[in-house]
Amino acid sequence: MNLTRKLLAITVLISVVAIGAITAATWHAAAEAQHGLLRQRVVDDVGREARMLQGSIDMLAGDLGMLAEGGAAGEYSGPGADNLQFLADQMDALMRKRPACVEIRAVLRGHGAPRVVVSRRHAGTVRTAVAPGEVTGGFDTLLAERQGLRHGSRRQDRDGAGPVAAPNEVFLRAPVKDRSGAVLGVVAITADLQRLVGDLGRPADDVDFWVADASGRFLHRSARTPEGDAGAGSPNAVDRFGLRDVWGSWLKGQTPETRVDDEARGRFLVLHRVLVGNPAATDGDTLVMGGVASYAGRDAAAAAFRNRVLGAVLGVGVLMVLALALAAGILVRPIEALTAAANRIAAGEAGVTAPVDRRDEIGILARAMVRMAEEIRKAGKSSEQAAMGRMASMIAHDLRNALSSVKMNLQILEDHHRKAGPAQAANCEIALDQVRYMEVILQDMLAFARPGTVEPDWVDIGEVLRTAAIALLPEQESRSVALTLRGDHKLPTVLADRNKLLQLFENLLENAIHASPEGGIVEVDARPLLHASRPALEVRVRDHGHGLSPNAAAKVFEPFFTTKAKGTGLGLAIAERIVRQHGGEITLAPADGPGAVATVLLPLTPEDWDIPRPGAPDQAG
């Protein structure tokens, strides 16, 4: 398995695990959040509706107290016509103000026979009247009737017209007393529970609101039925919602509200007590305001949210895989190219290139590999040259001794034959010239094999260039080549080895003279400059010969490479070594036009040399 496939496999595995974990965590968190929101919603809504219903009942009780206290203030001190009409007007106004009121009845005993004032709502119309004549038994019966809830049933009509279907009602009564505390009568209000409840739960769309009595019997229900509500046909809240374990104990307790989280059936219930009358005095009833909501809708919302998250995560995962595949391709291809280049280098191939133009880590690696290959090549070259130098040194030493003997005998023969005749002397002179040529070759080989150490001192480059030009005057005259020097009188001194620089420039000038045509010109131009932020000296030697081919330009500084018919090919190799010993640079390249140009860059003061300039004060003193 290659690197790309491994990366893709690891990414897919991580993506699958991450997607699964994120989906599970999202589902759990979303479901918990949705359930929490639903529970809080039910608690708030049921509490609000219970307070509204309790407020409506308490408002009726307040109205009843206002009517009863009017009797204590002396308004009903007697069943006179004016007093009764005043009471009737108040009752009529109250009936019109409270649409839930079905009837307000006042029975006043006074100083004579009891009288009755009745205000009743019938078919949407309020009718109030003082009952004519005396009413017997009405006072005691009304005063003794228990406050609280009246269950709707078929009962006798209030006007005695026969049994009718009556709604569930709330009945409240209060005695009418005078200032001394004597009971003068009783006032009672009857309200339709359905009207009191009104539009129960109207703002909610996912909660089933209901009102039940203390036994759990439903008195009112909203039109909504949550999904998954088992026992929907039961008329009792205790049986329908399975509340037998909590119902009785909660009603007997002091807490007005209780909550039931029925996870098994996937629903949440809230129960809230509403008081009618005065239960503390065993004169009243308790209503239960309830609300139930199913988790099914919220679970569906959580599942939808989970699916959206899953889709988003899957999309991100696919994009990650695609991006990784693209990145892997971008990374692996250069690595494969580097691997191929390394294999070619290991096989000994020269001129191997790598993608060093990149600015990322691959480019850094490629440049490092190229530098390593170059250093290995240089090390191999140095080792090879060292071996060749040792061999050349031995050969040159042995040949030099032999040539010395041959040269001495040729000189003796030349002296002998010069006396005998010029023909034989000329032959000896030719042989001596060849011996001198071989001595030059041996001298080059020894110079290459024994580079020697640099002995730096402050050197006038202009003087060195003029000395080298003078030393090559015979060569210039023999080839009719003119040599021109420019800028040699304006040059600073250089910390260098004079003899080695003289050898360097003699070599370069001699090559330029030999490369120039008959009657040609060799131009030498020297100038100071800044190179790599350091003061340096540049010397350019240009000929106007045939120039260099690109292949020759790449090999001119290699030992034993030459384009001449005669020569060792060591001159430029020695010149390059001298320049390197002085911390400089040397190049040989085709010129702009005919010929070639050799450029030498020498720092004025190599970093590892510390020699005071002439005339500078002694630092030690």
**Can you give the pLDDT at residue 569?**
66
Percentage of residues of the chain with pLDDT beyond 90: 14
Residue 353: exposed, middle, or buried by beta-carbon count in 10 A (0-12, 13-18, 19+)?
A: exposed
Average pLDDT over residues 147-172: 69
Q: What is the pLDDT of residues 295-312, one digit of tens each?
A: 887 667 667 766 777 777
Exposure class string for 241-279: b at 16+ Cβ within 10 A, else e: bbbeebbeebeeeeeeebebeeeebbbbbbbbbbbbbee
Main-chain phi, psi angles of 585, to 5 degrees: -135, 150
- Distance, in Å, from the CA atom of 406 to the CA atom of 404, rounded to the nearest integer, reads 5
Topology match between the domains 197-299 and 457-603: no
Tokens for 14? 């991580």
Structure tokens at 358: 């990149």
Q: Is the dihedral of CA 83, 89, 92, 98 positive or negative?
A: negative
Residue 418: CB atoms within 10 A of its CB come to 14
User: Can you give the pLDDT at residue 416?
Assistant: 64
Q: Which of 505, 496, 495 is nearest to 466 (CA)?
A: 505
Whether 547 contacts 591, CB under 8 Å: yes
> How large is the average pLDDT for residues 288-294?
90
- Position 289 scores a pLDDT of 92
**From CA 582, how far away is CA 576, in angstroms rounded?**
10
CA-to-CA separations, 133 to 87, 110, 117, 184, 513, in angstroms, rounded: 17, 14, 11, 18, 159
Burial class from Cβ neighbours inside 10 Å (0-12, 13-18, 19+) for residue 442 reads buried
| pTM (two decimals) | 0.50
Q: Which residues of 550-589 are buried (b: 16+ CB within 10 A; e: fewer)?
A: eeeeeebbebebbeeeebbbbbbbbbbbbbebbbbbbebe
Higher pLDDT residue, 523 or 376? 523
CB distance 531 to 595 below 8 Å: no
Name the band, by pLDDT with cuts 50, 70 and 90, for residue 413.
low
3-state secondary structure 385-421: HHHHHHHHHHHHHHHHHHHHHHHHHHHHHHHHHHHHC
Query: How far apart are the C-alpha atoms of 46 and 273, rounded to whole Å?
Result: 10
Average pLDDT, the chain: 76
The Cα-based distances of 33 to 46, 298, 309, 322 in angstroms read 20, 9, 15, 34
What digits encode the pLDDT tens for the residues 466-509?
998 898 898 888 888 899 888 767 788 888 888 888 888 988 89
The closest of 428, 384, 376 to 406, measured between CA atoms, is 428
* Angstrom distance (rounded) from CA 310 to CA 22: 8
DSSP for 235-275?
Answer: SBHHHHTT-TTTHHHHHHSS-SEEEEEETTTTEEEEEEEEE
603: enclosing H helix or E strand: strand 596-603
Q: Do the beta carbons of residue 566 and residue 615 sit within 8 Å? A: no
Q: Which amino acid is at 421?
A: G
CB atoms closer than 10 angstroms to residue 355: 16
Q: Which residues contact 417 (CB under 8 A, 6 or more apart)?
A: 424, 425, 427, 428
Q: Is the pLDDT of residue 228 over 60?
A: no
Q: Which of 74-78, 81-85, 105-109, 334-338 has the highest mean pLDDT?
A: 105-109
Tokens 């260099």 correspond to 548
Q: Could you tell me whether strands 521-531 and 493-496 are parallel, antiparallel, or unpaired per DSSP bridges?
A: unpaired
Cβ-based neighbour number of residue 524 at 10 Å: 23
Q: Are strands 521-531 and 482-486 parallel, antiparallel or unpaired?
A: parallel
Q: How far apart are CA 355 and CA 363, in angstroms?
A: 6
Quick check: 189 and 257 in contact, CB under 8 A? no
Residue with tokens 């061999």: 391
Residue 619 has pLDDT above 50, yes or no: no
Listed ranges 231-240, 269-278, 416-425; the one with the highest mean pLDDT: 269-278
HSE (CB half, 13 Å, CA atoms) of 471? 15
* Residues 44-73: tens digit of each pLDDT: 989 999 999 999 999 999 998 888 876 434
* Nearest one of 159, 120, 116 to 139, comparing CA atoms: 116
In the chain, the amino acid numbered 362 is: I
Long-range CB contacts (within 8 A, 24+) of 415-420: none
Q: Which distant-in-sequence residues (6+ apart) come within 8 Å of 511 by Cβ? A: 543, 571, 572, 598
The pLDDT value given to residue 189: 93
On whether the CB atoms of residues 225 and 241 are closer than 8 A, the answer is no
- Domain boundaries along the sequence of the chain: 3-21+300-341, 55-190, 197-299, 375-449, 457-603
Of 45-54, 102-111, 408-417, 583-592, where does mean pLDDT reach its minimum?
408-417
Beta strand pairing status for 183-192 and 101-108?
antiparallel
Confidence bin at 10 (pLDDT 50/70/90): confident
Per-residue model confidence (pLDDT) at position 249: 92
User: According to CATH, what is the number of the domain 55-190?
Assistant: 3.30.450.20
**Predicted pLDDT of residue 304:** 72
Question: How far is residue 550 CA from its own chain's centroid?
Answer: 52
117-126, 219-228, 531-540, 552-561 — which is least confidently predicted? 219-228
At residue 620, the pLDDT reads 38
286 or 395, which is more confident: 286
Q: Residue 13: what pLDDT?
A: 77
Q: Is 516 left (phi over 0), alpha (psi -120 to 50) or beta?
A: beta
Nearest to 158 by CA among 124, 119, 194: 119
pLDDT on residue 230: 46
pLDDT confidence bin for 205, thresholds 50/70/90: low
122 vs 281, residue with greater confidence: 122
pLDDT in tens, 439-471: 666 566 555 555 567 788 888 888 989 998 898
Cβ proximity of 536 and 602 under 8 Å: yes
Name the CATH architecture for the domain at 457-603: 2-Layer Sandwich (3.30)
Region 114-131 average pLDDT: 85
State yes or no: pLDDT of 217 exceeds 70. yes
From residue 557, alpha-carbon distances to 52, 389, 598 in Å are 107, 16, 12
Topology of domain 197-299, CATH: Beta-Lactamase (3.30.450)
pLDDT in tens, 246-262: 999 999 888 999 999 98
Q: H-type helices in 130-192, by residue range?
A: 138-144
**Is pLDDT at 542 greater than 50 in this prediction?**
yes
